[in-house]
Amino acid sequence: MASESLRELREFAAELAWQVHHAVAFGARGISYFAYWTPVHVEDAARANFRRGLVEHGEPTEHLTQAARINHEVRAYYQALDGFTSTAVADSRGRFGTALPIAPIEHLAGAPVTAGFFARNDAVAVMLVNQDYRNPHRILLVLLPGVPLPEAFDPAAGRWHQLTAPIGALPAGGAALLRWT
C-alpha cells in the first residue's frame, strides 16, 4: 500500500472507527464491510478506479489490519453490552434522535457527540462517539443531579473502571462506553 501516506492510513482507520462506533451506538448487533476486496475482474473496473479494499490483487492491505483492530475493539464493546437493549440515540447538539436530557445524562458539552443509550434491569450504559473522524476532542459529561460518575469500559483490557472526572477525550472517530449500576 505504498501509494497511501501514513496520514491517509490514519484517516482511513479513524473514519472506519467512526462508522463502526456509530453503528454500535445506534444499536447494531453486527458489522459488515461493503468491499472485502478491490474488484479487478469486473466490467469497467479500470474506469471505476476501485481502490483501497481490504484485499487488493489477492493480497491483504493495511486496511484489513485496521478492520481487524476495530473488530477486536467492537467485539469487546458487544460483550460488555451483552444483555443490554438499545433504548435511545441522542446528538449532543440536538440535531437528531431523542433530545437530552436522558437519564442519567443532562447534557454533553464540547464537540458534537452521538450518545447511544442501552438498558438492562440492573444498569444503564451509554456509548459516546466523537462525530469528528478527523480530530480528537474533549467532552464534558454533565449528569443529572445526584447521579454519580459512571464506570468506563476499557476494550483493550475488557474491564470496567470507575471514572474519576466528568471530562474525557475522544479520539478522532473514537468512542467511550460508560455504565451506571
pLDDT category of residue 54 using cuts at 50, 70 and 90 = confident
Whether 36 contacts 55, CB under 8 Å: yes
Print the domain residue range for 18. Answer: 1-181
- Tally of domains within the chain: 1
Look at residue 75 and give its three-state secondary structure. helix
The pLDDT value recorded for residue 114 is 98
pLDDT category of residue 10 using cuts at 50, 70 and 90 = confident
What's the rounded Cα separation, in Å, for the pair 53 and 62? Answer: 9
- Calculate the CA dihedral of residues 164, 167, 173, 175 and round it to 10 degrees: 30
Whether 113 contacts 92, CB under 8 Å: yes
For residue range 82-137, list pLDDT tens digits in order.
Answer: 999 999 999 999 999 999 999 999 999 999 999 999 999 999 999 999 999 999 99
* Grid cell of 148 as nine digits: 454519580
- Calculate the CA dihedral of residues 68, 73, 79, 83 and round it to 10 degrees: -110
For residue range 138-149, list pLDDT tens digits in order.
Answer: 999 999 999 999
Task: State the pTM of this model.
Answer: 0.88
Whether 113 contacts 129, CB under 8 Å: yes
Residue owning grid cell 478491490 = 38
pLDDT higher than 90, residue 44: no
- Mean model confidence pLDDT for the chain: 90
What's the rounded Cα separation, in Å, for the pair 17 and 36? Answer: 16
